[in-house]
Structure 1
């Protein structure tokens, strides 16, 4: 097999199936060594492909330089506008500003007809009661979750009891009346949910839980769904 053909096959392997893919998996698919996979990954990156990951964690194709930019159907555009306008309403200040900037970028890069459609979209999002204002820097919390670094903070629960917690931040969920952090609590040794408006004095630590955020989040969500299903089954028919 020529090197060009192998690089093409490697791109196809990265595009298909669940990610990340380890060098061992890719090597087996292509019939080469893991060392060859690492060299070919470097070559694809030099050619413009954006591939996240490294040896030991697996690789994920983020952006494919060989594919043209995607256009949007009218319905897809309406969905984007609705989603971004909802973020403008419920997001923390940094996220709300980012949604506004994203809308401006979309409008500047869309074809004229769709740019007009974006400016005069049929759909809108509004809230008569905004979620409770977070008492921490949510942007720093989001970054800690992406970096997979544990955080510490003071917390006052609904009963008024105050504790100091260290958790692995997994996901921020924007709900009707409040925004919450889904996390693994070191104190309780279990998954816990914390309201952002009851968190104070947040500190991002140097303790890493990489690369476990995704599997931990998957387990936490599975537990929530199982608990909800059990509650539904207990309801009288």
Structure 2
């Protein structure tokens, strides 16, 4: 005697219906018996579900159901031959797709992520890129993201952080001076597209932050680090001021204020002026303003001192002259 299947609860029915629609869409034609066997339900339950699908849909612009807003099936085939054929689909057919350009941009971003050392599961990223390519409205452009000059340094530094060994390198500071440093690497961090190493600098006898694109002649050593993360306190902010910093008066868009929060000295005045805020920032050198202003084009104006304005103005003029 055949075992009777237990009646479906409301939750089971909903899950069944949600799974049945894409199952039928993937098949041009399927018998009631085959579909019932696939879902483990009685054939009568399967027929009831198909009849329910045929009166389901999405209301159109009039907020009422019209003929084209409902699913439809080949009724004669269903009633006479116990075959299910969907003849009209709604909602799912109209789901938005990425354009070829959008898919290409996302794939480029995923290629960049797959190149970073921390993203070890590259099979998952590769699978997602393939799905994006298949699901786009057109074939995305073939492209490749070249590795950056810091990729090799990233690998070496991450290994040193994990192994607890010191690093040696030449460092170009913001004043354009080269110095040989020996550092206990404690943490590697990124801000936008830039990577930074934070560690104990044996030359300065203090915690320092180093930008990776200013590091050269990097060498891993077998010397164990002197200071471990538990031995020192890493500041909450990535950029720490020093007594030698220069103060620059600026006017910045209020919406961009959080982007430069690390550069604003503690206790600095913030004066609102419409949609802008007047305050000041600290920099190691006036030439360091170039990068800050370039990253917030149109949102930051240097107000003083005159030397700071001159440094930024000369840099901007030199860039504009290249287009003349």
Tell me if TM exceeds 0.5.
no
Q: Which has the larger radius of gyration?
A: 2
Higher relative contact order (CA 8 A, sep 6+): 1
TM-score normalised by structure 2 residue count: 0.33
TM-score normalised by structure 1 residue count: 0.44
